[in-house]
Amino acid sequence: MTTTMDAPWTKKQEVSAFDDFDIDELLAQLTPEEIEQLESEADPDNTLLPPSERCKNQTSKADTGPLDREKLLKWLEDKAKAEKDWEEAKPYTKEKRGRAWVPKEDQTNLNDFDTESASELKTDFDDILNQASEEELVDLAAVLGFHAMLNQDQYNASLTDKPVHGGFKGVAKATLPAMTEPVAPNTTDVEKCIERLSSDDSTLTEVNLNNIKTVSPEKFERLFRAVSSNSHIAMLAVASTNITDPVAKDLAAALKKNRSLKTVIADSNFIRRDMVVELVRVASESESIREISLENQKPSMLGVKAEQELAKIVEASSTLEKLGVHFESLNARIRVQDKLQKNYDKHRKQRVEK
């Protein structure tokens, strides 16, 4: 007897099953209570927004008004006095245990100290501190090592006497970070680039696909196949495009066949150690490539063995001028830097002679 079972859906099929649903129509069918619950659970994935805008305020209490620091401190003090002390787990019985501490004899006699001089000195210091300006107090706090108690805004306010949160009497306030505009998305048409590369368009010398994370491995394979037969492209940038080892193999095959590429940038991807070494080896054997960058890969650690192998590869190269790889080993880093500097100087002299 044989039984049949439906093949389990893949993750991609599960997601694609909801493509036909109309989001606006589904939202229109929700009740106000369901919409409110959805808003409280949703969190827009935008790290540039502050938490106050990313999460809905669910506080139902009424606003008590502006902050009154003196009133708040008075309320905390009264509340602490009104509360009952905690009961001791074991009551104190004044029982003494162990040996009593006996202070060492001091050679100086405290009775010889003039109490009148001490009172006069105390009075002088009180007068000096009472007459000192807030700027002088701030400088004194810095000398005593208390400058960390004030931030930059409070220090500037104490110098200029501005009515802001500053000075010793002010409320500590954090400096808000400067907001930066998000990076505009890369609008490069990948299909059009593949067509122009396949036709060996002489006007297409640079291909920049950085930060385009929707390119499939099949499309990358077609792109690199077109690059391998192109004779005009000089720069290829595919940083932060979710490239993995299988796609990196197609890239290595394209670098072996191409004779016009000078710069290759593939930072912030998922290329592992062995493929990083292979890409650097292929670039070092090429007669045209001058720069290859493979920074910030995941995993990012290459290991001492791989770094020493990269150093040997670079030392055997006479064309590479720049290498974007992070070295943990100091020996490998110095060897690579020295060789790259020698190659750059050699090419510079050749350009000067021409």
Res. 1: pLDDT tops 60? no
140-157 b/e (C-beta count within 10 Å ≥ 16 → b):
ebeeeeeeeebeebbbeb
Highest mean pLDDT among 63-67, 143-147, 343-347: 343-347
Res. 32: pLDDT tops 70? yes
CA 223 to chain centre: 31
Sheet holding 206-208, edge to edge: 206-208, 235-237, 263-265, 291-293, 322-324
pLDDT in tens, 81-120: 998 888 877 777 877 778 888 887 765 555 555 555 555 5
Q: Which amino acid is at 35?
A: I
Q: Which CATH class is domain 190-302+316-325?
A: alpha beta
Q: What is the structure's pLDDT at 33?
A: 87
CA angle 263, 268, 274 (to 5 degrees): 80
Least confident of 27-36, 60-69, 75-84, 124-133: 124-133
On the 0-12 / 13-18 / 19+ scale of CB atoms within 10 A, 170 is middle
Show me where the domains of the chain are located. 128-171, 190-302+316-325
- Long-range contacts, 171-180 (Cβ 8 Å, 24+): 171/67, 171/69, 175/151, 179/48, 180/48
| Tokens encoding 248 | 């990196």
> What CA–CA distance (Å, rounded) separates 252 from 261?
12
> What separation, in Å, do the N-terminal and C-terminal C-alpha atoms of the chain show?
83
Stretch 204-223: mean pLDDT: 94
On the 0-12 / 13-18 / 19+ scale of CB atoms within 10 A, 315 is middle
Q: What is the structure's pLDDT at 118?
A: 57
pLDDT in tens, 172-199: 556 677 888 887 899 999 999 999 999 9
CA atoms within 13 A on the CB side of 316: 13
Q: What is the structure's pLDDT at 71?
A: 92
How far, CA to CA in Å, does 352 sit from each of 263, 322, 345? Answer: 22, 20, 10
Q: What is the structure's pLDDT at 4?
A: 44
In this structure, are residues 200 and 170 in contact, taking their beta carbons and an 8 Å threshold? no
